[in-house]
Structure 1
Amino acid sequence: MTFITDPLFYLIAVPAVLVVGIGKGGFAGGLGIVAVPLLALVTSPIQAAGIMLPILCVMDVTGVKAWLRRWDRSLMVRLLPPAMVGIIIGALTFRYVSESFLEILIGTIALVFSLRYWLGGRIKLNISLPDGPACWLWSGMSGYTSFVAHAGGPPLMVYLLPKKLDKSIFVGTVTIYFAGVNYFKLIPYGMLGQLSAENLGTSLLLAPAAIIGVKLGVWMHERVNAVLFNRLMYVFLFCAGLKLLWDGWSQVLG
């Protein structure tokens, strides 16, 4: 089995995977966006995404088991097709984008959504569209950003939150949606060589951290202030975004 051997990589990767697992296990999974920006500090964004996908798929199994009976089926029928289109667009354009472009894109996503979290309602996306086009816009964008950086949550939230779904139905729908999206991504990731022996071996080494993270999230759900935890994670996300933007623009301008 081949895998990344750099100790610095695991110094960053293990906490990143733990955070994502904790988010999925106890905080509605909203912290998945943290992983790739953090891993991209110690490896390429492309390899970071390839390593994280099998780990996310392992986490999704637990989530699907927990929420299989509580999700909106009619909404899912509308959400998944545009998400698949977004993933396909990401796959078709993958070979034409540079590492610096991905660093800038992922860094920008990290900064925008960390700032949106910190500023709360003061940043509003006032795009008024009928439900059908809005679904295609936001779910399609979710599929694309999920493909390039496993950061599909924020665009999806823009579409779903105004619907004011029942809490359990909301969490269940989001969980099932991303399980479907992540397992669909395995096809283009495999075709593009993202599931290499080194990436899969590294994912396997990090899998225990993923399982521990999910279990920790379940344990922490009633014991840790969710607002405080999320604030801390978004500080890390903001700092990672700044670093990625610096690296990306340094390559472009240098």
Structure 2
Amino acid sequence: MRDTSSRTLDFSARGLTKSYGQGPDRVQVLQDLDLDLLRGEMVAITGVSGTGKSTLLHILGTLDRPDQGILTYRNEDIFKRDDASLAHFRNQSIGFVFQFHHLLPEFSALENTIIPGLIAGRKKEQLYDEASELLKKVGLGHRLEHRIGELSGGEQQRVAIARAIIMKPALLLADEPTGNLDPKTGEKVFHLIRDMNHDFGLTTVMVTHNYALANQMDRCLTLLNGRLVAADHGGLVA
């Protein structure tokens, strides 16, 4: 683990509360949850299935709004933005990597990688140059023109990682990015995400059930009863 004590605060969540359903069917997922993320740190979120880890990532990524609470980015209350402004912020400032890559199968690795930039209105020629360099960096320089169906599972996740960081986001959110891969490939994908965190200074939050990977990050937190608590090196609540 690295010393992050001198880093500045990047994202801060205060009092996040989220529930689903109504009446007797109401399920409380997050309850008055707090989280501070320092610029460039890598944080693991662990916990049993169904505790709300993906819900938390969706709120941090502004894909969903909390019932209560605030999310600030460099002192701005993000959820005070309207939906259009929030979508622009999400495209510019947040990268996502999921367990299932959500790539477009009819497009090449290169074409998939540039999609966030196209949405932002950037020039295709410049995007192709940047995407080519990113794909080379993730070990796919020889697969630029291959369609997604021609790539292995690990290669597909590498494309997803390149797509997630093409806009140079402030925050990278990874939801079980190794969960659908064999252990050896999963380890390689994790190391790639960690390399991107180091090389680009990406503040990174990764949900994982793999405690061996979690304990290689700067911090390991467990979601328990709607709140985040520190986890020990075995992935158990301290």
The TM-score by the shorter chain falls in which range? 0.3 to 0.5
TM-score, normalisation: structure 2: 0.33
TM-score, normalisation: structure 1: 0.32
Question: Which of the pair has the greater relative contact order for Cα pairs under 8 Å at 6+ separation?
Answer: 1
**Which structure has more helix as a fraction of its residues?**
1
